[in-house]
Amino acid sequence: MAILVDPLPDAPIRSQGREDYLDAAAEWADALNVTTIQRNAQQVEANGFAERAETALAAVLNAPGTLATSASELTIAAGSQSFRIQAGKALVPGLTVVLAAQQNPTAQMVGVITAYDTSDGDITVLFSFANGSGTFSSWFMGITVSAPAATAADLWAGTALSFVTAKALREACASQAVTWGATLTLNGNAGPNRHVTLGGATVLAAPQNFQAGDSGRIRIVQGASPYAMSFNTVWKFPGGAPSLTSAPGAVDLLAYFVHDASNIECTLLRGY
């Protein structure tokens, strides 16, 4: 039951008569004494709450379970890291955990447990996702979703069971180099935005792993000598297939949208 504090009466004021002032002062002093006793009792009660809360927290962290803390010094980074948590936790290899710095909870690493010794708390986690930077020595750890963080390659290929991060989205949009060959067969699993420098007459063949709804651009750069490019019939241009800019070092951009496997709608933007 909560301990309540009685309100103090009005304090005596000098404008009162002598007798009234002395009576009010005595009443106020008696009430202040009671209030002091009540305040002290409240403090004892609050201290008890804090001690019980601390005991309960320690019980949660040290009892078998899936929440833990660590005082190991770790640097935010992807890859395998070994550290120590409480012993006796209900953790096994294969579970996905998140490790968050207590000083900065947005500094996190997510990965899969590869080893855990229940007798001493030594644990190894293969982290596939890292957010933030820095080195910390005070951590919270708990189980999280089992899906790993998606990479740019996962996004290109549409890999299932991975969660998307802003970092992966940004990396997936970066233009990827294409090694020139007389026949170019683009692979949708290698990214939507590509760039190539021509080394001779070139055929842009029907691509692989393009899916309906895919879109992107291909940056086509002429070499020291200008070369022609022809297009497989799946590449559809308004008014027919265009010609590249015929000048050394010229840059053209081919923007495309995949309607279906047989119809990739394109526009050639010449002379960049």
Structure confidence at residue 19 (pLDDT): 85
Q: Which residue type does 100 have?
A: A
Residue position matching structure tokens 């997510």? 110
Cα Rg, the chain, nearest whole Å: 35
Domain ranges for the chain: 1-62, 68-143, 169-269
**Which residues on neighbouring strands pair with residue 80, listed in sequence order?**
126
Q: What is the pLDDT of residue 13?
A: 82
Q: Which CATH architecture has domain 68-143?
A: Beta Barrel (2.40)
CA atoms within 13 A on the CB side of 57: 8
**CB atoms inside a 10 Å sphere around CB 129:** 21
Mean pLDDT by 10 residues, the chain (272 residues): 71 81 80 74 71 65 76 95 94 92 92 94 92 94 74 72 71 91 95 95 96 92 95 95 95 94 95 89
pLDDT, position 147: 60
- Cβ neighbours around 254 below 10 Å, total: 23
| Helical residues (DSSP H) of 145-223, grouped into ranges | 152-157, 166-172
Question: Which pTM value belongs to this model?
Answer: 0.51
